[in-house]
Amino acid sequence: MPSTTTSPDPNLDSVLRENRVFPPPAEFAAKARIKSLTEYEERYRKSVADPENFWAEAARELHWFEPWEKVLDWNLPWAKWFVGGKINLSYNCVDRHALGDKRDKVAILWEGEPGEVRKLTFGDLHAEVQRFANVLKGLGIKKGDRIAVYMGMTPELAIAILACARIGAVHSVIFGGFAAHAIVDRVNDAECVAILTQDTSYRRGCEVKLKATVDEALLQCPTVKDVVVYKRSGLPVNMKAGRDQWWHELMAKAEPECPAEALDSEDPLYILYTSGTTGKPKGLVHTTGGYSVQTYLTSKYIFDLQADDVYWCSADIGWVTGHSYVVYGILQNGVTTLMYEGAPNFPEMDRFWRVIDAHKVTIFYTAPTAIRAFIKWGDHFPEKHKLDSLRLLGTVGEPINPEAWMWYRDKIGKGRCPIVDTWWQTETGAIMIAPVPGAVPTKPGSATRPFFGIVPEVVTKEGTPVPAGHGGLLVIRQPWPSMARTIFKDPDRYRSSYWSEIPGSYFTGDGARIDEDGCFWLMGRVDDVLNVSGHRLGTMEVESALVAHPKVAEAAVVGRPDDLKGQAIAAFVTLESEYQPSKELKDELRAWVAKEIGALARPDDIRFTEQLPKTRSGKIMRRLLRELATNGEIKGDTTTLEDFNVIAKLREQDE
Ligand code: ATP
Ligand code: MG
């Protein structure tokens, strides 16, 4: 839960100096949907002057069974968007295109890790989604029932959630890399009546035994009555009579037609748990109409989607990024979305670049953690590939260190592709701050300007705006259509986590500053802020200084109590593969940070490590490092940790 316990003064000292600016490449801007900064600013001004009208205009681009009576009903913190309107997201993703002129256009372009390729047109998807919706109905699943989805990245995962959305069943996707106990927590919290899964999926050449993990979890999930198993690899699995059935057998028996239900705009669409970077995951509830509109519109403008794009977001559908920007936002725009099943380093470290060349991917959206891994693996991997189909790049998930941004721009985008650094959260449902790429100049490390209709601000703890250049708390001033409506079964926690910290505003939990051009710079989690001799520093800026050193691949900094300074800075550093840890290198790095951003930020401790503890979605878990640096042990929630060995190794290193 966001908190500001570190100090009564939330203002952050900004130490990062980053002056590089990249205007949109002329060739890109010429063909873009929005072509100039003036045009962006004009539209933005209008959108926030009358947000209801702005969002209503966007909503009219989608199909509604019945129009809304009122755009927004706002009773802080409870929002209703497009009140009284009837809509179906599955219809807008599939039927609208299959029944229109895109029946034979590829909707989902899939590559399995072993190398198979499948192409589903909008027509194919229409047939599959209808049939699977009938399978769900055949199991007695009704509107409002919660359905857990624990699958790998196969087209069937997209079909599964589109089928739920079609009949108003609420999906709860659980990342396929989680262990049984994470399934137990999520399934029981949401009281799911069924689980959709598959025998196994492929990851780094191994079989991930999804069905076996479900079997283990279900020993402790009393609400689950049905399990549907998609056969991906054919590896033998246990099928429990009366509970488990094969996807293909049910599909063979199901009726082909299932019209999309006219759902209420505020009917729940899905529950999704946050990634657990700052604490125990929260089950956020998203509803139908507003979520559809904002994922549609942000996809259209931030990815500048065009009819012939082949768009690839490498996120797993287990995260919100996969929901909004692998499936819903992209398909609503009628654009081809690529899904890749496996690991980026299988069989070799250049798999992503191979995928891009093979399928002529035009837009690529990934996470800073992946980019830092690519840098560590070496430039010769991307250099073996043309990458000339790309026209736009994106990042999401964490602040991107300016040096990683520059590498991405040069080595992958070849200086030709704008980069959209997109700030948003599970709670926001869709992108909130990001450059509109044909219009807004980009700066390495900045998410730049707010999207249309969004009013973010950087404020003190009292809610007063801080002046340009100073850090503070990032809040959102106005409700937005794709905002989460509550935490499942816990409205009080929803109010206290997000709407109580800064009166009248949504509190993001992130620290940020705004520069003279109105660009937002995310400085890290407020929970992670360092307080050194009365100066409050964001983690991101100190980490970026370390990452800018040629020998450093990745860095995480945390505070530990210090009698003199209040907090001392402890830095955990991973090195580029060709360098070895040494006492000299520690001194060199401490001096480097002092020179780059000032003596204040000089780390007191530096520990070299082979890996940093991360969530399964690749975010650095600083709270665990902080505990380790402070107490020498870790007691906090580690259920979403990617690799438990990392903690053991860090401890050993300590001794
Ligand atoms: P939990 O809330 O359980 O701790 P989480 O916040 O990691 O988990 P998500 O909702 O997946 O779960 O992540 C949202 C957070 O990710 C944001 O609050 C922000 O800290 C970070 N983030 C996402 N995109 C960006 C970005 N482009 N720049 C900076 N930070 C980002
Ligand atoms: Mg969060």
| Domain definitions of the chain by residue range | 26-512, 533-652
Pocket lining: 447 vs ligand 1, CB cutoff 6 Å? yes
Is 203 marked as binding a ligand?
A: yes
Tens-digit pLDDT profile for residues 473-524: 999 999 999 999 999 999 999 999 999 999 999 999 999 999 999 999 999 9
Instruction: Tell me whether residue 353 is annotated as binding.
Output: no
Which residues are paired to 270 by β-bridges? 171, 286
Does residue 605 carry a pLDDT above 60? yes
pLDDT band with cut points at 50, 70 and 90 for residue 9: low
Q: Which is more confident, 281 or 62?
A: 62
Q: How far is the CA of 527 from the centre of ligand 1 (A)?
A: 12
What residue's CA is closest to ligand 1, atom 23?
397
Torsion, CA 298, CA 299, CA 300, CA 305, rounded to 10: 150
The pLDDT tens digits for 326-335 are 999 999 999 9
**Which ligand does the CA of 525 lie closest to?**
1
Which residues have CB atoms below 5 A from the ion given as ligand 2? 274
Closest-CA residue, ligand 1 atom 19, reads: 398
Under 8 Å between Cβ of 506 and 498: yes
Question: Which ligand lies nearest the alpha carbon of 282?
Answer: 1
Residue 6 confidence (pLDDT):
40
pLDDT in tens, 387-438: 999 999 999 999 999 999 999 999 999 999 999 999 999 999 999 999 999 9
Q: Which atom of ligand 1 has the smallest separation from the CA of 619?
A: 7
* C-alpha 175 to ligand 1 mean position (Å): 16
* Nearest residue by C-alpha to atom 13 in ligand 1: 425
pLDDT of residue 650: 79
Q: For 570-586, write each residue's pLDDT tens digit.
A: 999 999 989 999 999 99
Distance 84 CA to ligand 1 centre (A): 32
Superfamily per CATH, domain 533-652: ANL, C-terminal domain (3.30.300.30)
- Pocket probe for ligand 1: among 185, 285, 369, 398, the residue whose CB has the most ligand atoms within 8 Å is 398
In this predicted model, what pLDDT tens digit does every residue of 226-235 receive, in sequence order? 999 999 999 9
Q: How far is the CA of 574 from the centre of ligand 2 (A)?
A: 25
- Reported pTM: 0.96
pLDDT for the residue 370: 96
- Rounded to the nearest angstrom, the distance between the alpha carbon of 139 and the centre of ligand 1 is 36
Q: Of 271, 426, 474, which is best to mutate to test ligand 1, by the most ligand atoms within 8 angstroms of its C-beta?
A: 426
Q: Classify residue 40 by its DSSP letter.
A: H
Residue 525 Cβ inside 6 Å of ligand 1? The answer reads yes
Distance CA 591, CA 595 (A): 6
ipTM over the 0.90 cut-off: yes
Q: What pLDDT, on the 0 to 100 scale, is given for residue 455?
A: 98
Task: Quote the pLDDT of residue 654.
Answer: 54
| CA–CA–CA angle 617, 619, 624 (5° rounding) | 120
| pLDDT value at 255 more than 70 | yes
The per-residue DSSP string of 159-193 comes to: HHHHHHHHHT-EEEE--TT--HHHHHHHHHHHT-S
**Is the predicted pLDDT of residue 280 greater than 90, yes or no?**
no
pLDDT band at 633 (very low <50, low <70, confident <90, very high): confident
Q: What is the pLDDT of residue 653?
A: 66
Asked whether residue 116 carries a pLDDT value surpassing 70, the answer given is yes
Task: Quick: pLDDT tens for 149-191.
Answer: 999 999 999 999 999 999 999 999 999 999 999 999 999 999 9
Distance of alpha carbon 619 from alpha carbon 331, whole angstroms: 27
Instruction: Give me the pLDDT at residue 13, please.
Output: 84
**Cα distance between residue 94 and residue 108, in whole Å:** 11
Q: Cβ atoms within 10 A of the Cβ of 425, count?
A: 19
| DSSP letter for each residue of 446-462 | --BSBPTT--EEEE-TT
In this prediction, residue 16 carries a pLDDT of 80
Question: Is the CB of residue 159 less than 8 Å from the CB of residue 128?
Answer: yes
> Per-residue pLDDT tens for 200-250?
999 999 999 999 999 999 999 999 999 999 999 999 999 999 999 999 999
Return the axis-axis angle of helices 583-597 and 539-547, rounded to nearest 10°.
120
Percent of the residues in the chain that have a pLDDT greater than 70, as a whole number = 98
Who wins on pLDDT, 15 or 232?
232
- Output the CA 320–ligand 1 centroid distance in Å: 10
In this prediction, residue 534 carries a pLDDT of 87
First CA to last CA distance, the chain: 32
Atom of ligand 1 nearest to the CA of 540: 29
Residue whose CB lies within 8 A of the most ligand 1 atoms, among 371, 423, 458, 641, for a mutation test = 423
Burial class (CB in 10 A: 0-12, 13-18, 19+), 285: buried
pLDDT of residue 7: 41
Which architecture, in CATH terms, is 26-512?
A: 3-Layer(aba) Sandwich (3.40)
Tell me whether residue 422 is annotated as binding.
yes
Question: Ligand 2: distance of its center to the CA of 583 in Å?
Answer: 36
- Cβ 484 under 6 angstroms from ligand 1: no
* Helices 289-302 and 51-59, packing angle to 10 deg: 90
Q: How far is the CA of 378 from the centre of ligand 2 (A)?
A: 31
**Strand, helix or coil for residue 74:** strand
Question: Does residue 4 surpass a pLDDT of 50?
Answer: no
- 292-340 pLDDT, tens digit per residue, is 999 999 999 999 999 999 999 999 999 999 999 999 999 999 999 999 9
Q: Is 552 annotated as a binding residue?
A: yes
